[in-house]
Amino acid sequence: MDQAVDKRTMAAAATPLSESEKNAIIGGVLLSMLLAALDQTIIAPAMPTIARALGHAEYLPWMVTAYLLTATAVAPLYGKISDVYGRRPTVYAAVLIFLAGSLVSAMAPNMLVLVIGRAIQGAGGGGLFALAQTVIGDLVPPRERARYAAWISGTWAVASIAGPLLGGTFAEHLHWSLIFWINIPLGLAAMAIINKPLKKLPIAAKHHRIDGLGAALLVIATALLLLALNWGGSTYAWLSREILGLVAGSAVFWALFAQRLMRAAEPLISLEVLGNPIVLAGALSMFLLQAANIGASVYLPVYLQTVIGLSVSESGMAMLGLLLGTVAGAATSGRLIPRFVHYKRIAMIGITLAIVSIGLLSAVAGHASLLEVEILTTLIGLGSGTTFPVATVSVQNAVDRTHLGVATGVLTFLRTLGGALGVALLGAVALGYGLPLSAEGSQTHIQLTSALPFVMIFITAGITLVLALVALMLMPEKALRGRDETAASLLAE
């Protein structure tokens, strides 16, 4: 079996990919990633219609929670699986699982089946997030890889804008199930695009296996933690037995997972990867950055509606500054990284800009004009966007090819987990200062006498950005490999 894998690897290495084949693969995996990203944003405007059609509206939040749980928990698993069995079968498996979940959701006769379908979707979608960056890492050397980060950020921006528009249109004028049916032709198109060229990617790790027990412990620990973050402060009080029990249970399984990493002959996440200071600092900075960004973006529309006085649709349009600023920041950073020896400074300057901007926003929150808010949120997005390419490229450049999938999976996992933690953290701040919001940031006719809750939300997000800057400052820099060094490393393996 190992000899057969070796032959496939050598054959793949002997038939290099052309530029058109590389572009086809990148386009295909980004299309797959767009599907997963869309399904995080397209569902919200259709939820009232779905509740009227299927009933049991009290379970609507589970459509979001189920997807988040499975998508976050499986991200590190896909990285390891793709390192062992190759990118093509793993990408195909993720797409097919996602499409199976879409089919179940589209045909759901009741809310329970729909929630199950969403959980299946997340199990596939979580892999697509990690695998898109991993495949790009296979195709492009680190020195040139940063410019593709703008494509990834652009994919998220398109999903953030197009998702709510499509979801609202389908639910209001056609049928809510179309938000799931649309995934089928797009997913099949992505598979067709990447089918032939992806065969040429070699399998990185030729003599390894998956730690099933470690994978189960990681999934359970993550699921319990995410349930606590999602329910805390909304469904249950933070100090309730339910939330404390979930946190305690999660801590137990994290401890068991850590023990398994130390004792397993081949752990799910290599200790070599976990012990790499660049991976640790880069992933931590991304975790903290997402906690600030996602948390603030959840409460920014509420601020725009309750303090600035915008309607729901107007507040959605006002978010474009933050989204487009993030894409512009990532694109700028991606173009600059190959030109700088100390490329880490690009992200450090960017985060500093974001910290100053969110600090100014907190200072003027009570009396700011819409123009001032738009300028400041655009600068926040521009500054924070510079970090995504730097962190991703640094982490991928720090490990060899055999651990590329695992390292990228860890980064994706902590990025998603950071977003969930940020929403919970800022939700606790909001509740503490009298802003009655659920974990998803939904609100009903909130009446405020001052902007103090939002001032504290923005200050907390700013402190989190400061911690992200500290983590980035502590991250060692390693010279980025170019085409020659990448080719040499492949031959060495």
Q: What is the DSSP letter of 236?
A: B
| Distance set, CA 86 to CA 17, 131, 160, 203, 284 (Å) | 16, 11, 31, 5, 27
List, as one string, the DSSP characters of 398-420.
Answer: TS-GGGHHHHHHHHHHHHHHHHH
Q: Which pLDDT does position 358 carry in this prediction?
A: 92
Span 294-344, pLDDT tens digits: 778 778 887 887 888 877 667 767 777 888 888 888 888 878 887 877 888
φ, ψ of residue 184 in degrees (nearest 5) = -65, -60
| Separation CA 43–CA 67 (nearest Å) | 11
Q: For the chain, what is the mean pLDDT?
A: 77
The whole-angstrom separation of Cα 479 and Cα 141 is 12
10 Å CB burial of residue 361 (0-12, 13-18, 19+) is buried
Q: What is the pTM of this model?
A: 0.76
Tokens of 476: 């060692």
Please identify which residue in the block is written with the tokens 């960004």.
293
Which CATH number applies to 271-493?
1.20.1250.20
Query: For position 467, what pLDDT does the model report?
Result: 94
CA distance 219 to 253: 9
What pLDDT, on the 0 to 100 scale, is given for residue 129?
77
User: Which of 141, 195, 179 minimizes the C-alpha distance to 41?
Assistant: 179
Tens of pLDDT, residue by residue over 92-101, are: 888 899 999 9
* Backbone dihedral angles phi then psi of residue 72, each to the nearest 5 degrees: -70, -45
Low pLDDT (below 50) residues in the chain? 1-14, 438-444, 483-493
Apex 410 CA angle, 404 and 413, nearest 5: 135
Alpha-carbon distances of 153 from 20, 142, 324, 388, 444, rounded to whole Å: 22, 17, 9, 8, 31
Q: Selecting from 3.40.190.10, 1.20.1250.20, 1.10.260.40, 1.10.8.60, what CATH number does the domain 1-209 have?
A: 1.20.1250.20
* pLDDT score of 10: 41
Q: Residue with structure tokens 């474009």?
A: 320
Say which residues have a Cβ less than 8 Å from residue 49's Cβ, sequence separation at least 6: 171, 172, 176
Please enumerate in sequence order all residues whose Cβ is within 8 A of that of 341, keeping only pairs 6 or more positions apart, or say none. Answer: 479
